[in-house]
């Protein structure tokens, strides 16, 4: 039997990684079993015992937990930086800092991290800059164009786009991808062949899907903002395409599309959120029993803390979605 490590990738996988590298403007790419596999294999590929990781405090819970618990057990120290603090990145540097990590947009808040000060710092000191751009997709944000060395994706979301795939992606130099491949094989984090085929299917429609989602999300966000003025049950709306978003300037300067994620805060708090979600008819509700992923063809609503709702806009018409949201607010 041939050595598995010596076997070349299947034709579908070769095509997929070539497309991913082209989309992210990198030398190479690799598909792994999951988004967290992509994070873990990248971190242990680029960091060694005694190194220091500088990470943005705004991270998805799974990544934050891995950085807080698993990396220290491997001898890597970690510091978390509040990106809103002036010069916070530079103040947190140590002599052993080897890598800076951030996520933009951030899950679940939808905040955007300004890469410009981080890029300057990383280039000045020769530190690797790794960016998880899952919630943007390469259609809206290509971190390498803004100084990143490695780009990560949970491919189960926008890249797959149909809610049935499960994979992770690492895009970077040939050397980085080779090292990640070695760790992937050692840890048994190879993707299932069906997942690679599903990812290939999703990439065929990525541009069309994201373009539609961007346009529809802007219309829905503008409608939601109008509810604030007319006392329609909404007290706040967060969407990067609106001038009221705290990171609107970053989105305009660094992103080519504002994305599909909208956060609405309801005047009635958590009670109103529960009633709102129970009344939705066209928009799917994200819960443990009806798992749905962001960035797919279906619009999904989920509860956030403090009386807020997150909408992941799919491919439905804006009028259909606004009609459903309107009746749910009444």
Residues contacting 197, CB < 8 A, separation 6+: 12
Contacts of 65-70 with C-beta under 8 Å, sequence gap 24+, read 66/36, 66/39, 66/40, 67/43, 67/101, 70/40
Q: What is the pLDDT along the chain (330 residues), one digit of tens a residue?
A: 344 454 555 568 999 999 999 999 999 999 999 999 999 999 999 999 999 999 999 999 999 999 999 999 999 999 999 999 878 999 999 999 999 999 999 998 899 999 999 999 999 999 999 999 999 999 999 999 999 999 999 999 999 998 888 999 999 999 999 999 999 999 999 999 999 999 999 999 999 999 999 999 999 999 999 999 887 899 999 999 999 999 999 999 999 999 999 999 999 999 999 999 999 999 999 865 444 578 999 999 999 999 999 999 999 999 999 999 999 998
Question: Does residue 258 sit in helix, strand or coil?
Answer: coil
pLDDT at 292: 53
The structural domains of the chain, with segments of one domain joined by +, span: 4-204, 206-329
Architecture of domain 206-329 in this structure: Alpha-Beta Complex (3.90)
CA distance 300 to 293: 8
Q: Which fold has domain 4-204?
A: 3.40.640
Cis peptide before 8 (omega within 30 of 0): no
pLDDT at 7: 53
pLDDT at 4: 46
pLDDT at 11: 61
pLDDT at 294: 86
Distances in Å between the alpha carbon of 298 and those of 65, 157, 163, 241, 279? 29, 12, 9, 21, 17
pLDDT at 291: 47
User: If we measure between CA atoms, which residue out of 161, 179, 151 comes closest to residue 46?
Assistant: 179
CA distance 259 to 248: 12
Written as six digits, the tokens of 222 are: 């503008």
């Amino acid at each position: 039997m041939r050595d598995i490590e010596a076997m070349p990738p299947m034709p579908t996988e070769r095509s997929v990684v070539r497309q991913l590298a082209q989309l992210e403007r990198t030398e190479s790419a690799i598909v792994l079993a999951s988004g967290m596999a992509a994070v873990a294999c990248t971190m242990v590929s680029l960091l060694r015992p005694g190194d220091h990781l500088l990470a943005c405090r705004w991270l998805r819970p799974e990544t934050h937990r891995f950085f807080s618990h698993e990396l220290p057990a491997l001898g890597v120290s970690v510091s978390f930086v509040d990106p809103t603090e002036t010069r916070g990145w530079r103040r947190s540097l140590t002599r052993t800092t080897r890598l800076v990590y951030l996520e933009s947009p951030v899950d679940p808040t939808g905040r955007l991290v300004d890469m410009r000060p981080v890029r300057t710092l990383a280039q000045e000191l020769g530190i690797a800059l790794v960016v998880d751009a899952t919630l943007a997709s390469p259609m809206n944000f290509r971190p390498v164009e803004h100084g990143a060395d490695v780009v990560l994706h949970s491919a189960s979301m926008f890249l797959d786009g149909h809610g049935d795939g499960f994979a992770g992606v690492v895009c970077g130099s040939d050397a980085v991808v080779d090292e990640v491949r070695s760790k992937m094989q050692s840890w048994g984090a190879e993707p299932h062949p069906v997942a690679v085929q599903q990812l290939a299917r999703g990439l065929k429609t990525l541009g069309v899907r994201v373009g539609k989602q961007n346009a529809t999300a802007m219309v829905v966000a503008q409608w939601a903002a109008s509810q604030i003025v007319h006392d329609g049950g909404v007290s706040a709306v967060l969407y990067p395409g609106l001038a009221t978003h705290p990171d609107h300037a970053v989105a305009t300067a660094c992103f080519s599309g504002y994305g599909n994620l909208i956060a609405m805060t309801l005047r009635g708090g958590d009670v109103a959120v529960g009633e709102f979600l129970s009344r939705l008819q066209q928009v799917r509700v994200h819960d443990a029993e009806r798992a749905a992923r962001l960035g797919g063809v279906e619009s999904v609503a989920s509860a956030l803390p403090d009386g807020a709702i997150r909408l992941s806009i799919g491919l439905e018409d804006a009028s259909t979605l606004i009609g459903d949201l309107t009746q749910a607010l009444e």
